[in-house]
Structure 1
Amino acid sequence: MNTAAFKLDPGLLEEITSLSGKLPSLPPVVRYFDDFSGEMRSIRDFASKEEVIFRLDGENHRVELAACGPADLVLKHVVVDWIQRFDPHSVHINCKNILSYISRREIGSLIYLITASPFDARAHWNTYVRSDVTAAHTWALRAMLHSLCRLNIGHWSSPAASIVRGFKSPKIDKYRVVRAGDCFLPLDQQAMIVNYIDDMCAALAANPGFIKNAELCGVCMLVMSYQYAFRPGQIARIELADVRLFSTGAVHVAVSLIKQKDNSKRIRVSRRIKREWGPLFDELVKRRENCTIRPEEGVPPRLLFGVTPHGVSRAIMELTADLTGEAWTPTDLRHTAAQRLADGGISHVGLTDFLGHTSDRIANVYFDTSPAQAQRINEALAISPIYSNLAKIAKTKTIDKAMLLGLPPDQQIGAVPHGIPIAGIGGCNLGQSLCTKNPVLACYTCSKFMPLGEPDIHQEVLESLRPVVTEFAAASRYDQQSPAYGQLKTTLDAVRRVVEELKADRRMAEDQT
């Protein structure tokens, strides 16, 4: 190692050199398990390498250990300790953050933390490290110091681990976007996604050949992300053998819980696909087994979608951009699904299990932003001022009475949901005989709906349906897990939006005359 390239105090250089000379030999081969490819990876001649390549998620990730300068041998012992205990992804992230800290604060600070006594290191941490550092840097540095304690390197030993745990990080709000609501899809865009999935199911039933391979993979990935809040890495790791198809039409998918530092905490969970959407996965499995859909280069053929996690993210963002006009990430869909369940009254334990977390503390953030029971009823009544501007009506265009009467009978909307006659509210581009939505009130959240351009009609629908909310509340005895509130909130808020937009159009027309 050319130490002349690093500006370092001679005393620190002497200490780190002396410390490195007392370290035991590194293993000639370091192995880790690549769970994406399903095989063990080996790093040979680890002690002499200046660059380490981790193969993760079908891609190569380089770590320049030469940037650690005189501390490279110590860091290599730390990396070996990490590989033995942590997931390779966590090891790579920690290495990147250590190197980022070196480039930001120079190598001297890192070497001082390694060679100093725990109390001197704590003083250096509080006065120098924390003054200009990110939270991710401190997490990696603490992980390094904990490894030094386990390995008994320098002045660090097991009793000093309690001191390391007291090293503070900059305060950050990991869930700021959740508290602010910036990551939640608006109700109208969620309706667009559901409508698209339903349309794909209808197209598949009509003629499977009309659906392209990329479209089929994309909609199935969207289902796993939107309905079940799985991460891209989880979706990409689903194998063909993980999809169970039953003669009844049911489809179950087993998914591994990832993003756990400790590999021993990784478990598999099974999710049942919504019955109406099951044929999509049935067709996908058939095409994969027939080799109609081939995996990308470097992706194991056993994987269902045949793409890397990065490919999953890219596909979902492109698809949501086409559907809603805005590219939503799988993380946004995950937050939206969690908040949707919290609003529906799921328990803390249920939401924690749904998200695959090991602690229910993270679930609290969704309940903090979720309305109480009384507020939930107000939302369903479409009178809550908090939600007055959240939903947008999904419609094609408005029509007048003449246009409505001129439509074929099948395209004129009418039914009697909850004992309330609904007729003359508008038309449907698709036709009721081909529509899978039920009840007829779902038309208000459908993009093929053409509402009648008279607000009084829709205002009457809104007032007639509001008593239904209290009926649901009384029948369920305010069961917070009942999905009725969420469904009524979406539908009645869409009706209210129709009324508001039509009244605004009428006022604008009157002003112009």
Structure 2
Amino acid sequence: MTKLVDQEHTLPSSSLPAYVFEGPDQIAIRTRTNDQPRYVDTRLSVWTWYDGGLAMKVDWAALQFSSDLMEICKSFMAYALEKYAPRTAQMFANFLQKLSKTELASGLPWGIPLIVTTLERLRESRHDLVGFRRFYRWAVGRGIEGFDLNTYLTIKDVKSSSVDPYARIYLSQSSLEIFEELQLLKRIEQGDTSDSLENIQINVLIHLGFELAPRAIQFHSLDVSDFEIIKDANNNVYYTLWLPMAKKFGQRRPERRPRKITTKLGEKISQHVSGIKRRFGENCEPMFVGSDGSRMSVTEIGACLKHELREAGIDKPKQVTMLLRHHLGQGLADQGTPVDMIAELLGHNSTVAARAYLTATPNIARVKEKALGKSPAYQRIMRSFLTGEVVQRRDTPAERAIRGVIDTQYIGDIGACALPVHMHCPYNPVYACYTCKKFHPFADGRHEQVKEALQQEAQRFIDMAEQAGDLIHNRPVAQHQTTILAVSATIERCRQLMENAKDDTV
């Protein structure tokens, strides 16, 4: 794809060999649907590709790079288009646009002070920082002159100043209130009487969103052939939708998984599919179409869903398909559904995001408190599985206090260790404490800080696992999940102890 061309020996010693992009005329990209262009033409000054019915591009004429750096960036984008999903490639294109406006755009070699200055500007956006890391790592891996491993390690240590994605998972959960759910169901039922193809389609969209909560890109990727009707020997009719997965790593085409749907929704989809074929012909592939029979874009689908939610009296800013996904996940968690099943139904790559619903739901906390929290037998069982007795900080000698580092954060004042003072614990402090009988947590300890630090570190493991394409069998992530649950249980024990002590003093 690339080659190095030696410049004349008369050039200054600081000059580097010129890098020339010699990629293919057309780059094959990952596509979700058959009606989406599968190649990017690299002979043009503007590279264009599509995803979700939206055009994405990188305009090389608009980027102010030096000639050699321009060739390197083209080679990197060709690599990104081949390896990553279209939207990830667009993230890299956006990063290159930001990079072209920095002093680094004038050419190689880059000095460390200049790189550090640029990183201070890029760290405001996590996507830009990730883009710079991937770009530099790619160049180092290919032995391109002007990029070295030591500088990459410096870049890797720079942290983004934006909100950690793991924090968003755990803090932004929202769902429909009971009265809002009733209003939405009423809106879904009202759509049954219309014979208009457009109205039936909109009603199918909101009904499907309520039952399976697909992402907008999953709505967009659905084909008529993904709808399946099954009749058994007793003439019972069952409906299945083969839902395309949105975020599965390393797949050239989206995997489709069967999802059972209700009879009422199945009948609506059957009516909708018949209407599509009558108007646009038997060969029409998309499940959701515009007025001309073309596939609806994610933007158009989002607008339809938002309109239906507003008509149902639900108007929450920046909440469309994600609101319905949170509502489904929250409802499953409230009913005691295991996290692995929630992750499977929502199409998550791991159970980390699904655990957020168990963490966020107040209903689960109330059920546990009423059913188990007041039970002395349950409390004894939990104590036997987790840690030693909860103690007061003031009653603990300073030399027994536990301190440690999680995710580069120094954390102390969490509890005491019952091991002899001269004996060193063979396990990693803080990480192993919350599942150790020798650990006596402080009633007012900084356990919430430990939980937040573990969540942030778990997200870093997830980010690294995403790069390797293996989240399912990632043991560090699973271990962190277990520890986070143990810390949560300790927080609950300490809370109950403090409440009981307060009641006794009243």
Normalising by the smaller structure, the TM-score range is 0.5 to 0.7
- What is the aligned partner in structure 2 of residue 50 from structure 1? 45
Once the two structures are superposed, residues 167-220 of structure 1 have per-residue CA deviations (whole angstroms, 9 ceiling, x without a partner) of 42224143666655574222211121122223434x3xxxxxx33212211121
Describe the SS at the equivalent of 2:28.
Answer: strand
The correspondence for 1:313, drawn from 263, 279, 302, is: 302
- CA distance in structure 2 between the aligned counterparts of 1:31 and 1:277, rounded to whole angstroms: 37
Q: 1:269 aligns with which of 230, 233, 257?
A: 257
Pick from 202, 213, 227 the counterpart of residue 211 of structure 2.
Answer: 227
User: Does the CA contact (< 8 Å) of 1:251 and 1:281 recur in 2?
Assistant: no
Higher mean alpha-carbon deviation, 369-378 vs 66-75, is at: 369-378
1:37-436 matches, within 5 Å, as 37-38=34-35, 40-46=37-43, 49-66=44-61, 67-70=63-66, 71-102=69-100, 106-109=101-104, 115-116=109-110, 120=112, 126=116, 128-131=118-121, 133-156=124-147, 165-174=156-165, 179-180=170-171, 183-201=174-192, 203=193, 210-247=194-231, 248-260=236-248, 262-263=250-251, 266-291=254-279, 301-306=284-289, 307-326=296-315, 328-371=319-362, 373=364, 375-376=366-367
Indicate how the Cα distance of structure 1 residues 332 and 379 shifts in structure 2: closer, same or farther if over 3 A, else same. Answer: farther
Residues of 2 paired with 1:14 and 1:260: CA distance? 48
Amino acid at match of 2:356: V
Equivalent residues of 1:313, 1:329 under 8 A apart: yes
Structure 2 vs 1, CA of residues 196 and 62 (structure 1 numbering), >3 Å: closer, same or farther?
same
Percent identity between matched residues is 13
Segments of 5+ residues of structure 2 without an aligned counterpart are 1-10, 290-295, 372-506
Question: 8 Å contact 2:21–2:74 — kept in the other structure?
Answer: no
Which one-letter code corresponds to 1:235 in the other structure? F
Match of 1:25 among 22, 26, 34: 22
Tell me by how many angstroms 1:249 deviates: 2.9
CA contact (8 A) 1:36 1:237 kept: yes
CA distance in 2: counterparts of 1:164 and 1:346, whole angstroms:
42
**Aligned-pair CA distance for 1:288:** 1.7
Report the CA distance between 1:280 and its aligned residue: 0.9
Distance in 1, Cα, partners of 2:237 & 2:206:
20
Equivalent pair of 2:37/2:50 in contact (CA under 8 Å): no
Q: Deviations over 1:336-394 (max 9, x none)?
A: 221221222121211211221212222232222123756137899xxxxxxxxxxxxxx
Residue 91 of structure 1: CA displacement? 0.7
SS in 2 for 1:129: helix
1:250 alignment partner, SS class: strand
CA distance change for structure 1 residues 154 and 38 in 2, over 3 Å: closer, same or farther? farther
Cα deviation for residue 44 of structure 1 reads 3.5
Tell me, what secondary structure is at the counterpart of 1:100?
A: helix
CA distance in 2, matches of 1:23, 1:317: 48
Between 182-191 and 352-361, the greater mean CA deviation after superposition: 182-191
Q: Under a length normalisation based on structure 1, what TM-score does the superposition of the two structures give? A: 0.59
**Which amino acid is the alignment partner of residue 341 of structure 1?**
L
Determine the C-alpha separation between the residues in 2 that align with 1:304 and 1:136: 33
Q: Which has the larger radius of gyration?
A: 1
Corresponding letter in the other structure for 2:74: K
Distance 1:239 1:159 in 2: 49
Change (3 A) 1:265 1:236: closer
Q: Could you tell me which amino acid in structure 2 is paired with residue 305 of structure 1? A: F
* Residues 264-294 of structure 1 deviation map (CA, whole Å, 9 limit, x = unaligned): 5942211111233321112112112222x68
Alpha-carbon contact 2:65-2:106 (below 8 Å) kept = no
Residue in 1 that maps onto 2:493: none
The root-mean-square deviation of aligned C-alpha atoms, in Å, is: 3.4
Moved more, 161-170 or 255-264: 161-170
> 1: distance between equivalents of 2:103 and 2:117?
15
Match in the other structure for 1:440: none
User: Structure 1 residues 379, 198: closer, same or farther in 2, change over 3 A?
Assistant: farther
Give deviations 1:224-278, integer Å, cap 9, x for gaps. Answer: 2222121111111111110001232321001111244533594221111123332
- Checking the alignment, whether the CA contact within 8 Å between 2:216 and 2:321 is kept in structure 1 is yes
Pick closer, same or farther for the CA change 1:373–1:259 going to 2, 3 Å.
closer
Letter in 2 for 1:214: E
**162 and 245 in structure 1: CA distance in 2 versus 1, 3 angstrom threshold:** farther
CA shift in 2, pair 1:197/1:171, >3 Å: same
In structure 2, give the amino acid aligned to 1:84.
E
Greater shift in the superposed pair: 211-220 or 152-161 = 152-161
Q: Helix, strand or coil for the counterpart of 1:290?
A: helix
Change (3 A) 1:34 1:131: closer
SS of the residue corresponding to residue 115 of structure 1 reads coil
Q: Is the 8 A contact 2:302 2:320 kept in 1?
A: yes
Higher helix share: 1
Q: Secondary structure at the match of 2:24?
A: coil
1:51–1:188 Cα change, 3 Å: same
Counterpart AA for 1:56: D
Distance in 2 of aligned mates of 1:309 and 1:126: 38
Cα deviation for residue 16 of structure 1 reads: 10
Task: State the aligned residue count.
Answer: 345
TM-score (norm 2): 0.60
